[in-house]
Structure 1
Amino acid sequence: MKTLDLLHRWTGGLVGLVLLLLGLSGTILIHRDAWVMLPHASDEQVQDTPAIIAATEQMMADPAARPSSIVFATDSLGLDRLSFGKEAGAYADQAGNIVTRWDDPWQRPELFLFDLHHHLLAGETGEIVGGIAGLCGLFFVISGTVLWWRTRRTFAFRLLPKRLSRPAILRHHRDLGIVFAPFLLLVMFTGTTMIFRPVSALVLGLSAPATIEASFKAPEAQVGALADKPDWARMIRTARERFPDAEIRILSLPKEPGKPITLRMKQAEEWLPNGRTTLWFAPDTGELIEARDALTLPGAAQAFNTFYPLHAAKVGGLAYKLVMTLVGLALSLLGSLAVWSFWFRRNRTARRYGSGVTVPAE
């Protein structure tokens, strides 16, 4: 038990700051659509087929300047989001008119926070660091629960420490952590699994990572080069015929030659905000190559599709958003106080007096 306590304290002291950043940025991102202050941001979502076709054709009209993907408006954000390469992007109204552009995600606060939360502003390296912090977070929740059991009779719930002394901070850390432990476990597991997919095997079984990979992989097909004017109307109408009640969510151009155009849709039964019902089209002719219904995917893939909406509070309405907001704030508090108490509030081992005698500090 002493070794477990030592590991918990030292790992927390080293990783707590990363968890603070993840917790705070994630909490703000839960509500990010509410503070996108742009014209048409509060417009009602449009899913009318002719309107979507017209807007898509307008946004994709110029072969030299068309976006690589379009994320269509939702019921919480009335703007389409366009991506141009790796960094640049734009918001457009649902008629296809550009509202604002950016060359760097730092120019948009919601995109900056998204990059901070997902990549720690360090690209793939930051994403890996965040994943490792998530694994450490799983260890903290499990080991903290074990360590708390010894002191369960002294439990007292407080939102903040009684005082900023190290014993008070440690007691607050222990008791606040046990209150939020189930939700912290959920957040850490779902977040880590989205970065390190093999972690899904802990809950979904050893074969889950391979099943998930196969379920999301694009079909192999011989296709031509992307046409100057792809038949967007044909693709969107075909998607509507296959899934008449589903929302059209994301349209993506091929990332390399010889790959299909991808259209993602969201059926009412899906939790994932952008859905995982996917259609692939030939980039030269607009002919349908394959349509994959998310509701008929293997159980492991369907379960994996619930991880992001659970992690980001994209399901469960306002009540769950408020719960996850509290969880994010609790994680921020636990991480920050763990670092502060470990590095800056450790009791001095001794106080030296003029006589040269050393006595323990109180």
Structure 2
Amino acid sequence: MKWLDLLHRWTGGVIGLVLALLGLTGCLLVWKAAWIMVPGKSMPLIRDPASVAMAVQRLLPQPRGGASVVFADNGFALNQLRLPGGAGAYADQAGHVVDRWSSQWERPELWLFDFHHHLFTGDVGETMIGVAGLCGLFFVVTGAILWWRTRRTFKWRLLPKRLSRPAIVMHHRDLGIVVAPLLLLSTVTGAAMVFRPFAMIVVAPFGSPTKALAALRPGKVHGGALAANPPWQAMLTTATRHFPDAVPRILSLPRKPGDPITLRMRRADEWLPNGRTTLSFDAATGQLLSSTDAMAMPRAARVYNMLYPLHAGRVGGVAWKLLMTASGLALTLLGSLAVWSFWFRRPRRPRNAR
């Protein structure tokens, strides 16, 4: 038990600040649709293929490889244009631009998202985020084990009684056990989204991980070069005909010649905000090449698709958002105070007497 306590404290002292920042940025991102200030974000939604196609035509008068359009949705009724290099724009549902940027640093929601998911360092940062999530899981488990010894001294406090090391340790121990279920959910879902092998362990009770991986892996299809004026309306009409209950979420242009145009849709029963129902179209002709129905995936794959909405508070309405906010704030408080007490409030070693 002594070694477990030592490992818990030292690991927390090293990585606690990262977890605290992830908790704080996560809280802000849960409510980003509320604090993004752009005109038109509360307009009624337009779903018919002709109107959506006209908006895409205005946003992409000259289609560029690697560009994508995230369509308006409940709570944020603006289309978002994403361009290579971090540039982009918000546009109303008619395709008229209401705000434009040349770098993610011009929009706080974009660089907050990049920090929370990649620590501003791309794939390396994403791996670090996954490791931090696994460390958070370790803290929840070991913290519960260590708390059990002192359970009789439990006292509920939102904040420590004072900023002394003993008071912070007691507060850390007791607040941690209260929010442990929320932290367990946040850390498990966060790490699972980064590390597929860990995710397959999480979903294994619901079905075969091998079948889940096969279903989640995008199919390989090839088409012609990107046309100068793709038939957007025909593609959207085809998609609606195949999945009448689905709404378009992300239209992605090919990154290199031969890649298809992909359209992600969200069916009525999907939790994932951008859906996993995917259609691939020939970039030259607009002909449908393949389609994947997210609701026909194996159960383990469908459970995997639920991890992000659970983690990001994108399901369950305001009540779930509040729970995820509480989880993030608790992680911020526990992580920051753990680092403070470990590095700046450590007990002094007594001098050796003669």
Band the TM-score falls in, shorter-chain normalisation: over 0.9
Percent of pairs identical after alignment?
56
Instruction: Please name the residue that 1:78 is paired with.
Output: 77
Q: How does 1:75-154 map to 2 (within 5 A)?
A: 75-154=74-153
Matched, 1:225 2:229: no
Which structure carries more relative contact order (alpha carbon 8 Å, separation 6+)?
Answer: 2
1:157, 1:89 → 2: CA distance?
Answer: 47
Query: Which amino acid is the alignment partner of residue 102 of structure 2?
Result: D
Q: How does 1:175-214 map to 2 (within 5 A)?
A: 175-205=174-204, 210-214=210-214
2:106, 2:150 → 1: CA distance?
Answer: 48
Asked whether the 8 Å contact 2:263–2:280 carries over to 1, the reply is yes
Alpha-carbon RMSD: 1.7
2:138, 2:283 → 1: CA distance?
Answer: 46
2:175, 2:353 → 1: CA distance?
Answer: 40
Q: How does 1:210-359 map to 2 (within 5 A)?
A: 210-350=210-350
1:23, 1:154 → 2: CA distance?
Answer: 27
Query: Which amino acid is the alignment partner of residue 105 of structure 2?
Result: W
Cα displacement (A) at 1:59? 1.6
2:209, 2:252 → 1: CA distance?
Answer: 24
2:327, 2:191 → 1: CA distance?
Answer: 16
Matched, 1:25 2:43: no
2:69, 2:47 → 1: CA distance?
Answer: 14
Compared CA separation, residues 127 and 222, structure 1 to 2 (3 A)? closer
Asked whether the 8 Å contact 1:24–1:328 carries over to 2, the reply is yes
Instruction: Please name the residue that 1:157 is paired with.
Output: 156
Asked whether the 8 Å contact 2:66–2:254 carries over to 1, the reply is no
Cα displacement (A) at 1:201? 2.8
1:29, 1:158 → 2: CA distance?
Answer: 26
Cα displacement (A) at 1:315? 0.3
Cα displacement (A) at 1:290? 1.3
SS in structure 1 at match of 2:179: helix
Cα displacement (A) at 1:66? 8.0
Asked whether the 8 Å contact 2:118–2:129 carries over to 1, the reply is yes
2:234, 2:304 → 1: CA distance?
Answer: 31
Query: Which amino acid is the alignment partner of residue 201 of structure 1?
Result: M
Larger radius of gyration: 1
The count of corresponding residues between Structure 1 and Structure 2 is 353
Asked whether the 8 Å contact 2:221–2:290 carries over to 1, the reply is no
1:263, 1:124 → 2: CA distance?
Answer: 24
Cα displacement (A) at 1:85? 0.6
1:98-141 CA distances to partner (integer Å, 9 max, x unpaired)? 11111111110111111111111222211111111111001000
1:259, 1:66 → 2: CA distance?
Answer: 10
SS in structure 1 at match of 2:134: helix
Name structure 2 gaps, 5 residues minimum. none
